[in-house]
Structure 1
């Protein structure tokens, strides 16, 4: 019988991994900042056009602009908090295993299998973007 089971994906902290994480977070913040600037510019133009149509249209446009701006600011703040967490990661010892994500796999379960080992699940260990080790039930495969 086959069952679906979550697989923990962890990465081994290396200097390269630290830099990749930080670079990606900074890129995302820069992208959000650029989107906010673009929304601001587009909003000014849309507001000017709406003002010529009347007060209610201008008010709707103003609300939409504010909503978009607030949404981007929230996303940016979340990324900044993540960077603070990453700075904590920077202080961790190289070689530390960190949880990254969970994926799902199919596992064959047979009569006589140790159910405890099946429940322990599997792990995929990544080092510098390459699968470094696969563990099943805590033991290397």
Structure 2
């Protein structure tokens, strides 16, 4: 039987939940700590790059510095400070997430993210039920699939 006229293939979001285990908590802490380290490195690189750029501008300019050069240096410093501020905000969020992970109780379910899956629907199916699918993992292994496939 040709079902091309009786079914439709759709895409749906699938909630990805994890069961909190000691292993998961440790892995999350390591991931967040790595992110914090990367952000620290980004700030150091920004500082080094801006210092080099400013030193190069000063080296190529007259002493005392003309107003246009001073303005150029000030613009660089403002851009660097803005970028550093954004990175430090992200770092702060990661540190807060680390604290939240520490407070989670074992065997608690938490939303880890979202994936997508395809499903077939046909006349008479309940779309709302078919859309509500969750995938529950314990240490990376599927423990349960909830909802109507």
Asked whether the two chains share a fold, i.e. TM above 0.5, the reply is: yes
Q: Which among 111, 118, 143 is matched to residue 132 of structure 1?
A: 143
How many residues align? The count is: 134
SS state of the match for residue 3, structure 1?
A: strand
Shift of 1:115: 4.9
> What does 1:1-141 correspond to in 2, within 5 Å?
1-52=8-59, 53=61, 54-89=69-104, 92=105, 94-115=106-127, 117-119=129-131, 121-137=132-148
8 Å CA contact 1:5, 1:104 repeated in 2: yes
Dislocated runs of 4+, deviation >4 Å:
none
> Structure 2 vs 1, CA of residues 58 and 113 (structure 1 numbering), >3 Å: closer, same or farther?
closer
What SS is found at the alignment partner of 1:36?
helix
Structure 2 stretches lacking a partner, 5+ long: 1-7, 62-68
Distance across 1 between alignment mates of 2:126 and 2:80? 58
Per-residue CA deviations over 1:40-90 (Å, capped at 9, x if unaligned) read: 12221212222343322212221222122112111111111212222222x
Using the size of structure 1 for normalisation, the TM-score is 0.82
Mapped partners of 1:27, 1:13: distance in 2: 20
Cα RMSD over matched residues?
2.0
With structure 2 as the length reference, what TM-score do the two structures score?
Answer: 0.78
Q: Runs of 5+ in structure 1 lacking a partner?
A: none
| Matched residue SS, 2:77 | helix
